[in-house]
Amino acid sequence: MVATPGSWKPLAALALLSFIWGVTWVLSKQALAYAPPFAFAAQRCIGGALALLLVMKASGRSLVLHQPRQVLAISLTQVAGFMIFQTTALVVAGPGKTSVLIFTMPIWTLLLGRAVLGERIRGVQGIAAAATLGGLLLIIAPWSRHGHLVGDLLGVAAALCWAIGTILVKRLRARHPADLLVLTTWQMLIACVPLGLLALAVAEPATHWNPTYVVLLTVISTASTAGGWWLWIYVLDRVPAWEASLSVLGTPVIAIVTSTLVLGERFHPVEVLGMLLIGAGLVCMTLASRQAAQRASASAAA
């Protein structure tokens, strides 16, 4: 990124975002000691929606909903589906490993983009996909008993939901450009309905409301859900997408370190190798996106 006056602000926002999202994995694991998974997912979503509504009100934005069918599909996948699988994965698996599995989302987006949007997978992207999928296989390791197979598969399901939602957002914005904050607010509001109904329909233990859980839920809903999305939008408006994606890859690293220090999470050597492969694959894919953006910029300048 070319240095400009005030360019430190988006870099600081990226660092803060990676920290918030990284720590959130451990906070969510701790919150699940007081609330069952479906109730926690619904409460988190409702809190995030209320926080985003306050931001919308303060910024004076209009909350007019465009393309309701497409936004409904995005809400069910990128928010409701993602939160359900992410939260249930955290019940049975550690937050560090779960965060790595879910951050395979860019690779699933790449593969789905090939199938749904007809986008070509070029050389470095193919290598990145192979490395990430190889690392994923090592982490899940169905032939071994060192991991939590159900939790791992739930983490992958969350990544797939996130990827599907990303593809749907890409298709929607290509046809109907819209304010990302408005779109995010509606995603959260709509997702509150199925998440709330699911929490009421499933027989779960009651939420143990106490000051600790209230603080955890408030921080996760406002700082991670509402605040995290706002920071992401702020960054995307100011730096290239590839740079933002590369920087936010620090999130699972922070999650792993925090989970190890706070919760004592330990990793099998094969899992560590798998995580390294996934990290290498994601970095390769992001750098390939950078090269593509630079070629497009050079072609436009010519």
Read off the pLDDT of residues 199-251 as tens digits, 9 standing for 90 and up: 999 989 999 999 999 999 999 999 988 888 778 777 766 665 555 665 566 78
With 70 as the cut, is the pLDDT of residue 59 above it? yes
Question: In the predicted model, is pLDDT for residue 255 greater than 90?
Answer: no
Where residue 110 falls among pLDDT bands split at 50, 70, 90? confident
Mean pLDDT for the chain? 81
d(CA 284, CA 129): 9
**What is the count of structural domains for the chain?**
1
The sign one gets for the Cα dihedral 88, 94, 100, 103 is positive
More confident residue, 195 or 93: 195
N-term to C-term CA, the chain: 20
Tell me the pLDDT band of 105, cut-offs 50, 70 and 90: confident
Q: In which domain, by residue range, is 48 found?
A: 8-294
* Residues 112-154 pLDDT 10s: 776 665 666 666 777 777 777 787 777 766 656 555 778 888 9
Distance of alpha carbon 133 from alpha carbon 277, whole angstroms: 8
- Are 60 and 169 in contact by the 8 Å Cβ rule? The answer is no
Residue 99 amino acid letter:
S
| pLDDT interval class at 7 (50, 70, 90) | low
60 found inside a domain: yes
Rounded distance between C-alpha atoms, residue 284 and residue 245, angstroms: 11
| Residue 302 placed within a domain | no
In a domain, 1, yes or no: no
Q: What was the pLDDT predicted at 2?
A: 41
CB atoms within 10 A of CB 264: 8
Q: What is the DSSP letter of 60?
A: T
Q: What is the pLDDT of residue 10?
A: 74
pLDDT for the residue 3? 41
Residue with tokens 């408006």: 237
Check residue 190 and give its pLDDT.
95
> Residue 21 above 80 pLDDT?
yes
The lowest-confidence range among 50-59, 67-76, 249-258, 281-290 is: 281-290
Residue 266 domain-assigned (yes or no): yes
For the record, the structure tokens of 7 come out as 């360019």
* Region 269-273 average pLDDT: 80
301 in a domain, yes or no?
no
Task: Please give the residue that has the higher pLDDT: either 3 or 291.
Answer: 291
Is the confidence at residue 160, as pLDDT, over 80?
yes
Where do we find the tokens 């992401």?
A: 232
Q: Does 2 reside within a domain?
A: no
Flag whether 3 is in a domain.
Answer: no
Yes or no: say if 251 and 99 are a contact pair by the CB < 8 Å rule.
yes
Residue 299 lies in a domain: no
What percent of the chain stands above pLDDT 70? 80
